[in-house]
Structure 1
Amino acid sequence: MELMNVGKLMYLMDKYDIKPKKRMGQNFLIDNNIIQKIIREADVNGANVVEIGPGIGSLTVGLAQVAKKVIAIELDKKLIPALEETVGQYPNVEIINEDALSVDFDAIMKERGIEEEYSIVANLPYYITTPIIMYLLESGFKVDKLIFMIQKEVAARMVAKPATKDYGALTLGVQYHTEVSQVAKIPPTVFIPKPKVDSAVIKLVKRTKPLVDVKDERFLFQIIKAGFGKRRKTLLNSLSNSPLGLTREAITEACLISDISPQKRMEELSLQEIANLAVHLA
């Protein structure tokens, strides 16, 4: 596989006067071993893939050599000329200058005659990680898997287990929709410029159906938000003081029916236990 080297990256940055923008979380990946690892995990040979935030195109080049079609969505107009030069020899790459948080991914694919499921790959800026992941999962796009390089601490929250410090609303939102695993740890030294934190590569495989069966998904996540909004308080206190209008009597009764102590905290419950509780609170 022919990939970009550091010299080419630095040449393009100099040629197009590119200075990574801290406010946009721009850190360009320069380690080809990690790039190949991401591509292997994405498993997009002959498939369609969307890359969010391609930057100058170090990962895009690798994806272009194995995928059927690569849609590269880049917000920063300043990077587009360098990205075009990087992927110019690959006719299966299309660059779109848009904000991924406002893109209808299914519509983009359909406009190009792509009706089947597709994958999403990204080296996500840290400031946008949670919003973009939840947007992609909650919008119901025809995505089969997502491979993201993100801040290590955020990755830990996504794979966390109950009764741990990293377990929270993000954990449950991600695990409700996907089977998630951490596939690599990434040091700051593989980026230009070096971030101040370690990173990780996570793989999210979309479930054929959600992890738990509930009639009112919206209410389930309202309960989760309320419980983790005051995570050190008991279920009885956190839920009764939430905007949901639940009485202490109703919460106590629902907890007892669900075989859950109202003195427990939300962080101690599995998603299935929370789902049971939500059913009896509805």
Structure 2
Amino acid sequence: MNKDIATPLRTRAILEKYNFSFKKSLGQNFLIDLNILHNIVSAANVQSETGVIEIGPGIGALTEQLAKKAKKVVAFEIDNRLIPVLADTLSPYNNVKVIHHDVLKANVHEVIQAEFEEQQQIMVVANLPYYVTTPILMKLLEEQLPIQGIVVMIQKEVAERIAAKPGTKDYGSLSIAAQYYATAKTVMTVPKTVFVPQPNVDSAVLQLMIREQPPVELKDETFFFETVRASFTQRRKTIYNNLLHHFGRDKKEEISLILTECQIDPSRRGETLSIEEFALLSNTLYSKLKK
């Protein structure tokens, strides 16, 4: 019987065996709490037929728990020092493949095609490094991969921003971007004490389930996201002022009329607008200003 990787003792033994030193630049924090790993796996609803993509497996603590449940796990690891470590720690599992590559530069569509069966349920499950959380999540969402969902351990503050509702201080362009592609909820908060080395902040497990259809119909997706970002340029300013700043002061009258037509009070701030209101606003702006 193999001893689980995610215990303080076994983690320390592996690190010592390979004389491994943590690279701050790679945001390496390894989990040493089995309960939390089990919660992550169950939040991702990993079954015997599930295919899993993992990002940043570290020494394989989460990978091992996924391998016990899933049909296959494909893990992207950027740090070449960890490739021999993973070959050792994951040797009992023949359903794991480690790819030595930066996921941000990888063609994930191609990897899915090569490694998983057609129509297989695929989940992305990861303990993500803090410094690249947003770019990785946005890549996974924007590329519209054939996946069912994403369950990730990320910085608590970022998880709260992604899952935020309109009218709250955390709600912003990141919330809208993520919720356009997926439904978002925070599954649990994770204290910094369950990591080696300890990070400076608490973490949270975020669950994103991919929508079959976006919640709104858009005339132009790129323009929609541009409008959303513009509306949050300066959070303390009104939607009217932020739009003027973005589209130009010479558009004063048009913007004023468009807001009236959309029944959006010009004195409101971006964080009070729902995704539906943003869709209506961007569609109207697109029709009137882009003709």
CA deviation map 1:211-252 (0-9, x unaligned): 211121111100001111122111221111115787111111
Report the Cα offset of residue 130 of structure 1: 0.7
Q: CA separation in 2, counterparts of 1:3 and 1:245? A: 62
Match of 1:254 in 2: 258
Whether contact under 8 Å (1:30, 1:192) holds in the other structure is: yes
Whether contact under 8 Å (1:51, 1:72) holds in the other structure is: yes
| Structure 2 counterpart of 1:76, from 76, 79, 100 | 79
Whether contact under 8 Å (1:61, 1:87) holds in the other structure is: yes
1:1-282 aligned at under 5 Å gives the runs: 3-4=4-5, 5-46=7-48, 47-116=50-119, 117-242=121-246, 247-282=251-286
Q: Which moved more, 1:132-141 or 1:243-252?
A: 243-252
Cα gap change, 1:273/1:113 in structure 2, threshold over 3 Å: closer, same or farther? Answer: closer
Whether contact under 8 Å (1:235, 1:262) holds in the other structure is: yes
Q: CA separation in 1, counterparts of 2:86 and 2:252? A: 57
Give, as a single letter, the amino acid of the residue that structure 2 aligns with 1:126: Y
Cα gap change, 1:2/1:209 in structure 2, threshold over 3 Å: closer, same or farther? Answer: farther
CA deviation map 1:177-208 (0-9, x unaligned): 11111111100110000111000001000001
Using structure 1 for the length normalisation, give the TM-score. Answer: 0.96
Whether contact under 8 Å (1:239, 1:246) holds in the other structure is: no
Q: Which moved more, 1:223-232 or 1:146-155?
A: 223-232
Q: CA separation in 2, counterparts of 1:230 and 1:113? A: 44
When the two structures are aligned, how many residues end up with a matched partner?
282
Whether contact under 8 Å (2:56, 2:78) holds in the other structure is: yes
**For structure 2, which runs of at least 5 residues remain unmatched after alignment?**
287-291
CA deviation map 1:123-168 (0-9, x unaligned): 0111101111011101111111100000010011011121221110
Q: CA separation in 2, counterparts of 1:245 and 1:237? A: 9
Give, as a single letter, the amino acid of the residue that structure 2 aligns with 1:274: F
Report the Cα offset of residue 2 of structure 1: 6.3
**For structure 1, which runs of at least 5 residues remain unmatched after alignment?**
none
Q: CA separation in 1, counterparts of 2:210 and 2:153? A: 17
